[in-house]
Structure 1
Amino acid sequence: MIYHGIDIIEIVRIRHAVERWGERFLRRVYTIGELEDCGALGAAPRYQSLAGRWAAKEAAAKALGVGLSGMAMAASAYERPGMTDIEVARSSDGKPSLCLHGPAATAAAALEITSIALSISHSGAHAIASVVALAREPKE
């Protein structure tokens, strides 16, 4: 079984949210590791990286068939994950991957997800992410 999710966001939306709500917004949406990786705890956050991670979290939620806490989506049998339950990590060569925690990990286990692929890209104005999750084939 293949599950797919995709999301696109205007980078300026993340910049405006950071400027308006600051650290409160950042800590609600991103893990400490993500914030450090994006330079968001310093004076010059990389907004395109933050936006890419936002899109990745949204795409992952879509692939898992669950909404994120506080966002409208179809009812699910699972508790809705929060934004920090879906974490974007990077390998030493820069390849992004997903780490699922709490309700996001529960949803993936229920779907019998065996692997997840993540791709993130951004231009001057937008960030986009695509998540493909592979699961065991249903038994007949």
Structure 2
Amino acid sequence: MLYHGVDLVEVRRIRQAVMRYGQRFLARVYTAAERADCEIAPQVMRYEALAARWAAKEACAKALGIGLRGLGAFTVDYPRAGLHDIEVVRDAAGRPTLHLSGVAAQTANALQIRALAVSLSHTDELAIASVVAWVDLSGV
């Protein structure tokens, strides 16, 4: 069985948040590893990289069927992951991968998710992420 989540982000919204709130916004949304990874991107592509990671966090939350804490003033009755609970990191080959902790990891374990795949892409204006979660039902 597969679960899928996709999210599209306007790069300008991330750029505006960084310009307005600076390090406070970056530290709230991105882990230290994510911030460091985006810092090595050329300045012109930094906002695209940040937007793609934001989209990945949202897409992963959608694939898991959970929300993200801190993204609005609405109340929900299901678990919500913190923004740092879903981390976009690179593997040894440079491919983006997801590292889950907290509510995100607990939910993935409860759903018996065996693997996550993430794909990121962006233009100057938009960033998109797709997350596929694989559940092994062979033992069911």
TM-score between the two structures when normalised by the length of structure 2: 0.89
> Unpaired segments of 5 or more residues in structure 2?
none
Tell me the distance in 2 between the aligned counterparts of 1:66 and 1:36.
Answer: 27
Residue of structure 1 equivalent to 2:2: 2
What CA RMSD, in Å, does the superposition of the two structures yield over aligned residues? 2.2
Residue of structure 2 equivalent to 1:12: 12
Aligned pairs for 1:87-98 (under 5 A) are 87-98=87-98
Deviation at 1:124, TM superposition (A): 1.5
Residue of structure 1 equivalent to 2:57: 57
Residue of structure 1 equivalent to 2:137: 137
Tell me the distance in 2 between the aligned counterparts of 1:129 and 1:74.
Answer: 24
> Unpaired segments of 5 or more residues in structure 1?
none
Aligned pairs for 1:1-140 (under 5 A) are 1-39=1-39, 44=43, 46-71=46-71, 72=74, 75-76=77-78, 78=79, 80-137=80-137
Any idea what the Cα deviations from partners look like across 1:60-98, whole Å, max 9, x if unmatched?
Answer: 00000000003458632x3x1111110000123321000
Query: Which secondary structure does the structure 1 equivalent of 2:39 belong to?
Result: coil
Further displaced range: 2-11 or 67-76:
67-76
Assess if the C-alpha contact under 8 Å between 1:6 and 1:131 holds in 2.
yes
Amino acid at match of 2:128: I
Assess if the C-alpha contact under 8 Å between 2:70 and 2:83 holds in 1.
no
Tell me the percent identity: 53
Any idea what the Cα deviations from partners look like across 1:99-130, whole Å, max 9, x if unmatched?
Answer: 00111100100000000000000011100000
Assess if the C-alpha contact under 8 Å between 1:66 and 1:73 holds in 2.
no
How many residues are treated as equivalent by the alignment?
137
Tell me the distance in 1 between the aligned counterparts of 2:22 and 2:135.
Answer: 38
Assess if the C-alpha contact under 8 Å between 1:67 and 1:73 holds in 2.
no
Further displaced range: 130-139 or 27-36:
130-139
